[in-house]
C-alpha cells in the first residue's frame, strides 16, 4: 500500500474528467438515490466553527459552478448542516473536511454515504491518525504526518484505492448489511475503486477530501487488467487482506479471474 499521490489533472487517460474535482456520469441518479437512503444522523459538521464551514462551502459552490455541474445552492439562512447536505446530495462524491488543529489534524465535517466497511459517524472530530489507525503502516507517525502535510499543504492531489466486491451496493456501512460476502456460489464480482481528491483550503489551514466510488465488473476488464488484478490479489500481504476483509474473498476472486 502506497500513497500514490498525483497532481490533480494528471493524465490517466480520461481526458478532461481527469482535471475535475467532481466527476459526473450517467449513473448520477443511482448515486443520488442511494444517498437519499442514508440516515442523515450519520453525517456531521462542527457548527462551532462558522468561518471554517463558510470557507469550505464557498469552495464547493464555486467549484461546482466552474465545473458546470448546474447545482442548486443552499440558502444563506440555512444551518451549516443543511448547506452541506444541499451540496453533498447533488454530487456522486462523498465529502470530508479536515483542519490541521493540534497534532495530526482532525475531521471537521463528515458527509460520507458510501464507506467501504467503516463507520463515518464514529470519527466526528477524530484525528487523521485515529481515522486511519486500522490501516496497515499508519501506526507509523512519520508516515501519518507526511500524509497529513501532503493533504493540507500541497495539491490539489488525487489518488486511488481499491478493493473487490461481490455486489454493487455503494453503501458498505457495516450496519446497513448490504455488503455481500464472497462464497463458493459467487459467479460475478467487481473491482471497487475510490478516486480520492484532496484540496487545501490554506487560508483556514484545512483541506477538503472528495471520495468518488466506482464499480468495474470483472467481466469488463481486459485480459491484461484481469492478470494485473489477479497478481495483485495473490501477492497481497496477509495483514492487508485482513484489513480489507478479503481473507475468504481472494481465492474466489482468483477463480473468477482465471
Across the chain, which has 258 residues, the per-10-residue mean pLDDT values are 82 96 96 96 94 97 96 96 98 95 80 93 76 62 71 87 96 91 96 96 91 98 97 94 92 97
Q: Is 176 within the bounds of a domain?
A: yes
Q: What is the pLDDT of residues 24-44, one digit of tens each?
A: 999 999 999 999 999 999 999
Can you give the pTM of this predicted structure? Answer: 0.91
Q: Is 121 within the bounds of a domain?
A: yes
Q: Which cell numbers in the block locate residue 148?
A: 497529513
The total of structural domains in the chain comes to 1
Full residue range of the structural domain in which residue 144 is found? 6-10+18-257
Q: Is 89 within the bounds of a domain?
A: yes
Q: Is 152 within the bounds of a domain?
A: yes
Q: Is 71 within the bounds of a domain?
A: yes
Q: What is the pLDDT of residues 219-244, one digit of tens each?
A: 999 999 999 999 999 999 999 999 88
Residues making up the chain, counted from first to last: 258
Q: Is 1 within the bounds of a domain?
A: no
Q: Which cell numbers in the block locate residue 187?
A: 459467479
Q: Is 107 within the bounds of a domain?
A: yes
Q: Is 79 within the bounds of a domain?
A: yes
Amino acid at each position: 500500500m502506497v500513497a500514490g499521490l498525483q497532481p490533480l489533472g494528471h493524465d490517466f487517460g480520461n481526458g478532461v474528467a481527469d482535471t475535475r474535482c467532481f466527476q459526473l456520469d450517467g449513473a448520477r441518479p443511482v448515486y443520488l438515490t442511494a444517498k437519499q437512503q442514508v440516515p442523515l444522523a450519520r453525517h456531521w459538521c462542527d457548527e462551532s466553527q462558522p468561518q471554517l464551514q463558510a470557507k469550505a462551502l464557498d469552495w464547493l459552490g464555486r467549484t461546482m459552478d466552474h465545473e458546470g455541474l448546474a447545482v442548486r445552492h443552499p440558502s444563506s439562512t440555512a444551518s451549516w448542516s443543511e448547506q452541506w447536505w444541499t451540496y453533498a446530495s447533488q454530487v456522486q462524491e462523498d465529502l470530508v473536511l479536515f483542519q490541521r488543529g493540534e497534532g495530526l489534524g482532525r475531521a471537521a465535517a463528515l458527509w460520507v454515504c458510501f464507506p467501504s466497511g467503516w463507520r463515518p459517524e464514529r470519527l466526528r472530530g477524530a484525528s487523521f491518525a485515529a481515522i486511519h489507525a486500522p490501516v496497515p503502516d499508519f501506526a507509523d507517525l512519520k508516515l501519518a504526518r507526511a500524509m497529513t502535510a501532503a493533504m493540507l499543504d500541497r495539491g490539489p492531489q488525487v489518488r486511488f484505492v481499491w478493493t473487490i466486491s461481490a455486489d454493487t451496493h455503494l453503501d458498505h456501512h457495516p450496519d446497513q448489511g448490504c455488503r455481500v460476502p464472497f462464497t463458493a456460489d459467487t459467479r460475478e464480482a467487481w473491482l471497487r475503486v475510490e478516486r480520492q481528491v484532496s484540496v487545501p483550503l490554506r487560508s483556514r489551514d484545512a483541506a477538503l477530501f472528495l471520495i468518488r466510488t466506482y464499480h468495474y465488473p470483472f467481466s469488463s476488464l481486459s485480459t491484461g487488467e484481469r492478470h494485473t488484478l489477479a497478481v495483485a490479489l495473490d501477492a497481497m500481504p496477509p495483514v492487508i487482506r485482513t484489513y480489507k476483509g478479503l481473507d475468504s474473498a481472494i481465492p474466489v476472486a482468483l477463480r473468477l479471474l482465471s
